[in-house]
Every structure is written in structure tokens, then in C-alpha cells.
A and B are shown apart, each in its own frame.
Chain A
Amino acid sequence: MAADPPAVPVMPPAPSEADIAGFVVERFLPGLDAADLDPEYDLLATAVIDSLGILHLAAWLSDEHGVDLPDEELTGRNFRTVRAIRATAGRAVAREERA
């Protein structure tokens, strides 16, 4: 009997914009309905996200979604909006899949 081929690791999909909006609202904008958070709302210019916020988001992506961001992705511009955070997570997932 032939040996089974090695299992191809299956990467979890990056969290959706709705997932990210939910976390952002829960953590940084209590009282707001996540559905009301525009995915292009500037979280940096409005001081919703700062250097500590970046770490909270990176930890959430890692702990809850298995998405580990490389050091060079931990910059403000990658966390400016819900859409930017989704793109940042998507790049990390794609990188893992290539590896």
C-alpha cells in the first residue's frame, strides 16, 4: 500500500472586514455598532489606533485567526482602516501559503 502523500497545510482564511470591524469596535470604540464602522474610516488620524492598538490587533490576528504578521508589517499605515488591516492580514496569509 502506497504511503499517503504528506498533508498540505491548510491556512485559515484571513478574517473578514466584518470580523475586524467587530474587534475594533469591541476594543477601541465601545458603544458603536460594528456595522456602522465604515471600512475606510481612518483609525489613525482619529487616534482610535496607536502603537498599543497595533499590538492588540496583531495579537488578536495571531491568537484568534492564526495570522502572524512579520515585523515589517507592524507599521501604522497597515492599520489605518479596517480595509487596510484586512489587506495586511491577507498578505500574511498569502506569504504563509507560499512558504
Chain B
Amino acid sequence: MGTPTEPGIVATGMAFGERHDVPATAADYVPDPETVTALGYDAYHRAAPGVTATDLAARAAREALENADVTVADLDLIVVGNSDVPDYLGWDPSAAVARSLGAHGTPTVLFTQACAAWSPALDHAAGAMALSPGVDTVLVVLVNVVSEAHSNRMDFNGCVASDGAVAAVVRRGHPRLRRLSSAQFTNPEYADLFRIEYGGAAVPLPPPGRGLRDVSPMASVYRHFGRDPERFQAFMKEITGRLADVVDEALARAGRDRSELTRLIHLNDNQQTFRAVADAVGLPLARTNAELARSLGHMGAADQLVCLWRHIEAGELALGDLVALTGVASPGMHWFCTIVEV
């Protein structure tokens, strides 16, 4: 019998911004703080001035390497997912993270699919192992630091955005936390939803008298659906319906089904969405990461692996448990699921 080829997570590391209380600071971000507190978040993390996404990513990566007892020289590949506006345009944060770690010659790759980046990042690690016999140890780093010049962390998409990074050392054939399968659905009809209107090549600067954040993301969503409540409601139903579909597809690819699912780890969404997602997948809310989401905030692409590890540390997952990591991401819009066996 051969060694399992699926990659498994050996160890992780994390680095967060400073913790802030949502009820105490919401009025600093929005004129109607009650709308933010109604989302159900208690806290979020905010990078201190001068601390960049690369800084947080490198801190998480060093901790993961130490916990896995490997050095940067042992890495065959570094995969970075960066879910917010990068520090610079025309610049590769994956190379910046590698430089910060002291890597030399190790290939790096960058995923920028917003808060979906975690899933293709893990898939890329698995794919590299499947295609290249020499790739045995991969560092996957996921980071989110909100550019407050471009968006309002408390007035964006129904979440309170949070700054944090997680890194995982992934090894071929590792018998714990095995990535079994993934599934994805993309609906390109929604490609423009929640985009940042100004600052890209199409509209490099806001019109005179307007700022980078002057376009309400929700107003553009309403416009997309012609302000038709029925079309918008169908969109809301599509969000949870497609999520259940990708969970089923990922489970089927692993030869499993929903009855075997121990836990659902979704992006750190608001509590109302968590209830809808749990209902759609058929799991009780207590078997999701809803409570962790309250205290962490939405850390973009870092949510799923941060929460996976937190549940393990809390003793809420046991050997052999089957976990669905899920996310819905804009821009895209994408639905992702990755199945992990603890």
C-alpha cells in the first residue's frame, strides 16, 4: 500500500492586527453604528499604523515554520493569497513575503481572488504536489489587511472586515488535516459587484470633488438588479443555494456525503448569513464557526484556516472528522468548498 498523496497541514501560524471592540468603535466608521452592531460582531483586528500585509503574512509564516519544525530552505513552493488592495500596484506580495522570510530561489505564486484566495491557494499546493514529484513541502500564506483608503471596513458587504494572516505548512502525504477535494462555481454575471470603483486602470482617479470611497458598494448592487426586490431576493437565495451545491460537489469528489460532515467552516460572515448558510447545508449553527466569527471579524482569505485551527485548539475537532471549508467571494462572484479530513 502506497503513501497517501493528498497534502496535509503539518502546522499553522497566525498574526493579527490589534484587537478592537466593535460596539465601542463602530461610530468611528459609520454614522449609524447600530446597523453594524446588528451584524453580530463583538471585535475585529486592525493593523497598527505602518504594519503592512507583508509584515503580518511574514509573522504568521515564521510561526508556522517554527511550529512545523522546518526552515525556509525546506520549502519547495510558497503560495500567498492576498485578499485586499495590495501595498503597491504592479507588485507581487508573494515575492515580498518570500524575501521577508529569507527565501532564495524558492518559487512563489500569488492569488488575488479576494476572500476566495484561500481555496485556489490550497488547490495550487495540492496541484503542484500532484504534477511535480519534487514538490513535497509548501507554505500557504493567506493575509487580509484592509486598505482603509479604498473601503470602509464596517460599510462594505455586510461584514466587519478584520486584519490578520494565517500560514500553513502543507506536506505531501501528511496523515493529518488532509485536503481531500475542492469544488468551485463562478457566476460571472456578478463580475462587477463590490468592485472598488476608482484607482484601477479604467478610472485611476476619482472625479474632482469625489473620494475613493464615495461610491456605495450596496448602491451599485441595487443598481445591478434594477432595484427590483424580487431579483435581489433571488440573488440572496442563490448565494446560499450555490454554497450547498459546491459543498455537495466537493464531498462527492472525495467520495463522501453530507451525512459524514462534522463541521462547516464558512467565511467569518455576519450572524444572519451564518444561520442561512447552516440551514442550507443542513447543519446546526453550533457546528459552524459562527461564534468564532463574532470575535475575529472577517479576515478575508484567512478566515477558514484561522478558524480550522482555532476549532482544533479548542478540542472541537477530532481525528477523522470531516470539515467543509466554504466561502462566497466578490468580486467574482465565486462559491468555494474545500473538504479537509482532520
Binding site for B on A (CB under 8 A): 42, 44-45, 47, 50-52, 54-56, 58-59, 62, 71-72, 74-77, 80
Smallest CB-CB separation from B233: which chain A residue?
A52
Contact A42 B232 (CB under 8 A): no
Out of A42, A44, A47, A51, name the residue touching B218 (CB < 8 Å). A51
* Bound-state Cα–Cα, A42 to B32, Å: 11
What is the interface residue range for chain B against chain A?
Answer: 20 to 34
* Bound-state Cα–Cα, A8 to B158, Å: 43
Tell me whether chain B's interface is mostly helix, strand or loop, or mixed: helix
Binding site for A on B (CB under 8 A): 31-32, 34-35, 37-38, 158, 216, 218-220, 222-223, 225, 227-229, 232-233, 236, 272
Contact A59 B38 (CB under 8 A): no
Smallest CB-CB separation from A70: which chain B residue?
B219
A-B interface, 8 closest residue pairs, ranked by CB to CB distance from nearest: A77-B32, A71-B219, A55-B229, A76-B35, A56-B229, A45-B34, A55-B232, A44-B35
* Contact (A71, B34) CB under 8 Å given A52-B233, A55-B229, A59-B229: no
* Bound-state Cα–Cα, A56 to B236, Å: 14
* Bound-state Cα–Cα, A16 to B219, Å: 25
Smallest CB-CB separation from A73: which chain B residue?
B219
* Bound-state Cα–Cα, A56 to B222, Å: 11
Cross-chain pairs A/B with CB under 8 angstroms, 21 sampled: A42-B34, A44-B38, A45-B34, A45-B35, A45-B38, A47-B272, A51-B158, A52-B236, A55-B222, A55-B227, A55-B228, A55-B229, A56-B229, A59-B229, A71-B216, A71-B220, A72-B216, A74-B219, A75-B32, A75-B216, A75-B218
B218 to chain A, nearest CB (A): 6
